[in-house]
Structure 1
Amino acid sequence: MREQPTWRIPFGIVGLLLALTIYALLIARYAPPLIGGWPVLAQTVVYIVLGLLWLVPLRNFLIWMETGRWGVPED
């Protein structure tokens, strides 16, 4: 447990919210014209995958917010 506050946590939260907003706007802008004519089940699968895709870099980002290092810290 750290004893001193760090700038990375508030910066990381703001950065995460900004990145997710940009990601959502890009998906909302470009996905419907590409997949709008597809069957509903296919569209559902695409939107579920796109909705979970942002989780891929989240682990490393949260580790950076806590430790200042990108990725799993080596012991």
Structure 2
Amino acid sequence: MTPSWRKPAGMLGILLLITLWCVAIVSLSTIVGSWQWLGQLAFYLVTGLIWIAPLKPVLLWMETGR
């Protein structure tokens, strides 16, 4: 069985997604920093979890090619 190119490409894509997501969230930190602590908590909780949503299709593509 020959190794698939999808796994390395998918891993690089996931790393790129995480990097871009972190840059986007950090760039908003000056705005979010002026919010009250409860708003900051909600923002960082949601943005800390929402990046996981695009991973399922990428992982499926890596494993099956669909």
TM-score of the two chains, using structure 2 as the length reference: 0.88
In the TM superposition, what is the alpha-carbon distance from 1:33 to its structure 2 partner?
A: 2.5
The structure showing larger relative contact order (alpha-carbon pairs under 8 Å, at least 6 residues apart) is 2
Number of aligned residue pairs: give it.
66
Which residue matches 1:38? Answer: 35
SS at match of 1:55: coil
Q: 1:20 aligns with which of 18, 22, 29?
A: 18
Shift >2 Å, 4+ stretches: none
Higher percent of residues as helix: 2
- Stretches of structure 2 that go unaligned for 5 or more consecutive residues are none
Higher gyration radius (CA): 1
AA aligned to 2:42 is V
- Stretches of structure 1 that go unaligned for 5 or more consecutive residues are 70-75
TM-score of the two chains, using structure 1 as the length reference: 0.79
Identity between Structure 1 and Structure 2 (%): 42
AA aligned to 1:58 is L
